[in-house]
Amino acid sequence: MPSAKILESKKQIVAELTEKLQNAASGVIVNYTGITVEDDTKLRADLRKAGVEYAVIKNTMTKRACENVGYGELASVLNGMTAIAISQNDAVAPAKILKEYADKVETFELKAGFVDGKVLDKDGVIELASIPSKEILIGKLLGSIQSPLYGLACALQAVIDKSGEAAPEAAAEA
């Protein structure tokens, strides 16, 4: 039987993880087996740059935190060597970065995740990773707004040019 001090410490970890999960935009659970120290260091640096928190937490504690938040479906993937990446702001960043590493390292595996309160399976995480970044989406939106306006401006200029040519001819005939 664990001592009261250890039990209290575990309860605190679960409470902190529960809070992080509740406030998260998204999260991804991975099996990190087979990743080298060098790759792990680079992975953590990339995740940190993107504002993603990455941690290895005991499966039982992660399971309890997930159940507290309503992600009980994730319990089935919480076995073996798992880590969780949580993003508070960017819903795509954890999936995108971790998928990149899963493609490089054969034994590093995406297991499941969640986004906006919805649990995703492995395929859902891969689909989430394929979404373009926020900057690219904004650029596409601005481009699609700009294109019709540019066409309208060209059409109006053509009308002005044409009516400007007709005015001197009309003046010459009179």
Q: Which of 4-8, 46-50, 95-99 has the lowest mean pLDDT?
A: 4-8
What is the Cα–Cα distance from 14 to 59, expressed in whole angstroms? Answer: 11
**108 Cβ neighbours under 8 A, 6+ residues apart:** 30, 31, 32, 33, 34, 35, 39, 101, 102
Q: Do residues 27 and 86 touch, judged by C-beta distance below 8 A?
A: yes
Q: Which two tokens stand for residue 61?
A: 């504690």
SS3 2: coil
pLDDT, tens digit, 9 for 90 and up, residues 83-110: 999 999 888 999 999 999 999 888 899 9
Q: Which sequence spans correspond to the domains of the chain?
A: 4-131, 132-174
Which candidate, 84, 71, 76, places its Cα nearest to that of 117? 71
Q: Is the pLDDT confidence value at 5 over 60?
A: yes
Confidence of residue 159 (pLDDT cuts 50, 70, 90): confident
Determine which helix (DSSP H) or strand (DSSP E) holds 30, and give its type and residue range.
strand 26-31
pLDDT band at 168 (very low <50, low <70, confident <90, very high): low
The fold of the 4-131 domain, in CATH, is: Alpha-Beta Plaits (3.30.70)
Identify the pLDDT of residue 174: 47
Is pLDDT of 161 > 90?
A: no
Helical (H) or strand (E) element with 48: helix 37-49
Single-letter amino acid code for the residue at 99: K
User: How sure is the predictor about 1, in pLDDT bands with cuts at 50, 70 and 90?
Assistant: low
Distance CA 115, CA 28 (A): 9
**Which tokens in the block code for residue 78?**
């919480």
pTM value is: 0.74
pLDDT band at 68 (very low <50, low <70, confident <90, very high): very high
Contacts of 133-142 with CB under 8 Å at 24 or more apart are 133/92, 133/96, 134/90, 134/92
Q: What is the pLDDT of residues 135-153, one digit of tens each?
A: 777 888 887 877 777 778 8
